[in-house]
Structure 1
């Protein structure tokens, strides 16, 4: 079966979840590399599992690349084997330079392994000592597999007496193997008489699968035999009772069942997103296969057309070449003949002048007066003639070249033809993609903390404030400076990374800020500020010098941001549209009307705007739904949020921002919380709530260190580490 057939088969597979017994007997428990049931299964960040021993083979750095079967990630080409090819069954190691000053480089540092299934790069500081977390789910399932498939197990109790007796029963509480006799004794002791004991013969038949799973409880690696029955919400780890007392005493915790419900919702949302993507990917794979075949057919036809036409033109080209060469030779020889005649005449004239010069020089030096007077008439006449003499030179210059100008190119295109290579946008019907594919998750996302760490807090008060601080806008420069718009004090305040006030910008004269609202840092290092009372956007240097004012296409600007090209994107709440401007000139590049597919206006009272890493545009709007998503050129994609206090509900949407991974953050002002959405626009979690002392969040920004910066009403600015 080829890869295309395999993919097609996968696309049509059943999505029903197998029973526990069916799962144990499937290939789910077999390592991709060694093809055996997992031994000490370890989970990579890409969520693919391998045996620890298989991963450890990667660190055998003394073996040569060709002997170990490892492959540098830089040498992987487009013809490398797919994930389905068994020959590819090795983790891939990225190596450093092999020699420096005659000695081997320490190649155990700064390593990168590549998952052989999904090709995800996994960077590790020192791969020799790399440890991946234990996949406890796989480990427990593999233990069940052993219970059902090991032909002989010995009684643990008889072994203490030096006897080897086959085990017939398993205690699910103690996890001990027991023979028939020891099983009876186990039932008679006061401590163990209520333990759940199952016969191996029935366990192998799957009659106790559910019971075995229920008794599989993780124990604490630090406090042996203590069950990990609690979950620390701050550290997001399982803990036992001893751990809580010793190292998590002041942390918020809950039991595992309660914690499971919260994470189960997140996982189900992610699972739904993955399930929606799988058929889209398979459809697109089929489309790519068909497209590849059409490219090959088109290439062969085009090659044939070029060769055939070229042969027809060869004769014409050769004849044209011969004609040009004959004409060139004739004209060149004629000109050279003229040059030779004139050269001969000039040589004779030069010789005559030189003789006259010698005669006159000698006469003046050695002649007697009577001799000079007797000859002065012919001499004066001759000298006068020579003084007014003009050389009979060439009037024209022969120039010969073979012009390759526009005329020749047009003639060539007309006679020979032109190879046209172009790219047309695929339509959704061509490729089979969903209309909202632009919002799908395209990268491996890092985990967002349940309890983000507050790493810094500052007060946005300035030196010249006469009102309470109302921080409507915020941005962070590439140098880590926090820039805050204080609307009511009509100023923009610049704080350094440590929270010290560096600068207050208010403008002067006609460039004075009237009612500033939002701010964005430009790639040039300057800042652009929306001023809705002045009906313009002003650009200043970080020192407060005015650079430019933008007025075209805007009446009441509020939110502002920049896209990946550095273009300025302005949200106008009066005209209810979005404008895109050149950052150097302020010229209007295009206007996005904010309409849906039926050309209905979807923006009602928009406030803030941001862009995703793919340059999709996100707008917060007081009208429900509260978030509107647009493509880079303005196509309406999707929405998020209704009125209310629930999971997908908002009471007053304010600031919005997006990090490098595509996570979307929304300030829910009246509910005192920050929403986190996945890149596809689905709800993920509440990052910060009123319980975390969040109070009327307003502006949001991502810092140069990848932290979330939040402004609160009356001027508090908080910086959170959320990953």
Structure 2
């Protein structure tokens, strides 16, 4: 029993916000451990009172629903008291959108029942000792009344919790997660409506949550196994990331010791050399030692900062994995179903964040030469103004400025002048004492001049000598395909889609769909009988949706035809399609300048648009896509813009202006959105056969609100006729070039 409580105190402590010190204090006395842990684990870290309807936040910590309601009345943000993560609270139903922590609720039941030793049976009034409770009758029961519930046909379906259920781990699973419907208090919630993210009862499935395009109630028991499998897969992937982070953390620690030992050895050499010349070289010796100390400090500071980043990433990753592992171990269907979306998003976020954190080991160490000079090839530690890595066009890099003591009074200004003479000013942030950083995303290749202006006693002046930086072109990291009909060849491909580790290409005039891995290796292909022009993949099950003329066909992940959607009575000329998570299909109609939303079986739900320049109107509907929030993003080629609609097909925003500048749009076609909300847009440009951004043939990255981020082009192997695009979770984009009969892959984040 002690081992079990100790394990739960370490794991549940993170869920409830209990510190490691409180856990270590509980280890001192096994007899008092369970009582102390029970009290602390049932205490809300926000209001410091016993939990009242505990809810799970996106960071996987729990707080009272009453705390969230109170915070919502005062402001729109709630800060988690355990990890300081901020949660947005908007709308009347925002608090209900956070899932219930069933585990803590049942701990509350456990304490209530265990503390009822002095209570007497409330059903038979016999004064007998309480041995259980009935969730339907809301009464404490003696042993005879528990038996009566079990044996009586009218009462045998009642929800009974006994002391044996609370002490026997194999019995606990039967009541974990049991809830009663707020609309129908006499009914237990046995269904889950995924679009609403709510547990509902059987009555709700024929009233408020009736099956339709807005509601999809499913039995919890049917959903649970699928949720378990997906979460177990994510746990394994994230656990692998945790192991990588641990190894990297240990490597950095070893390097820090190596740096200190190396510098100490060189310091000894310096002192031995200057012993012979002490009378004349005391000052020179001290100067050189001070210089070494600064280099050591700079190296250790950089490594320490990097190590702290790995440490924080590791902590968040371990915490997320632990929480999910505990949920799966408890084997509660309701808990798994209600927490699945949050756990999935959190684990994906942690996995992506960890994969983006890279460590470049120190290549050279400080060395002392008898000439009296200390040499170090690390630019970051030797120069006051540096760029941390070789900059690439359109990708972010960091400019670091370390002014001399007393040189800067306020914040310095970093300026960058491009080869064409355009000058931009970057905002700087003070990251440590005497160190400033600025993010730079160059938009052209070639030699740039990076300078710093500082404010001193005599006003603004040049802070240090300018730095000449050569920016590399953002050339494709991968290109494959040529005109032909063999495996891996293409004949005017028009669209591309990504699902997991697979890449799907609409090989139009070869009348087939080809499937590759994301490194460009051919996997298999399947015939479409007619020319495929656009395609999409349903993220929930891998169903492939392909448009050929006025026909929309559904294929299994292995390429077997499953269903045809005949949309001829609704569509005149389909130009693109996308698919929602629940299987609903969005179809763009070029001739009517509309897009339609149809159910998985092809039933028309609604159409939006029409000819015109206004909001929600189009001149030439091209491609469409859906983002993580199920918003619909439409590219309008002739209007040179992008329009965004919400899940209910209501207009949200419109952006884009025709022109040749990097931030302007010229004939948008393919469009895709990543999990961070970024929108990647392909521009077909002018009618010439000359490629490149100067002819409008480019890829662009925008924020969800239409704010331009960057433009992707390349000096060599330029885009000719870019069309369909698809993004990957690791910050790359695939683009179809139908004039060159190939696929190119670029890094965009």
TM-score interval w.r.t. the shorter chain? 0.3 to 0.5
Specify which structure has the higher proportion of strand: 2
Larger radius of gyration: 1
